[in-house]
Structure 1
Amino acid sequence: MKLLKKLMSNKGQLSMEVGVLVAAAVLVAIIAGYYYVKNAGTAAKTAGKQAENFTKTLNETANDYTEELQTVTNNLGPE
């Protein structure tokens, strides 16, 4: 009950302490949010680059196999 009395007190000391704690919590949340957004953007760019590289590699490999298949088909030709 003493805690409840202190929270409902009119003295202002506890109100100031709670205000400072709330302000600190808000500041921490803002900083954490900034770094989260910053890292999410970087991760998206990195993922995009990796996907592009994978697509290029896959395309080159498919072209190589297609050329090999064409060569084999031409070499077999009609007998």
Structure 2
Amino acid sequence: MLTGESLEEAARSCRDRFGERFEGFEPVPIEAQARMKWSEYREKRITREELEAWLKEQTAEDEKQIRGMFNKMRGGK
């Protein structure tokens, strides 16, 4: 499972290998970001407060979509 940390490591590795030619990765879709954050939370690598803070950084529309995803992931409707 990719995490924010593993993406940073991958980018660093690519910059080391390709130097200035490496322009970065495409933006990570919000659904993938949400799954990564949920995984970090479930593995107790981030706290509920950190998860909530990340949610507040999102647009209102994205936050609503992500909360719906989280509810489904924890077995809600």
With the shorter chain as reference, the TM-score category is under 0.3
TM-score, scaled relative to structure 2 = 0.20
Structure index of larger Rg: 1
Higher RCO structure, 1 or 2 (CA under 8 Å, sep 6+): 2
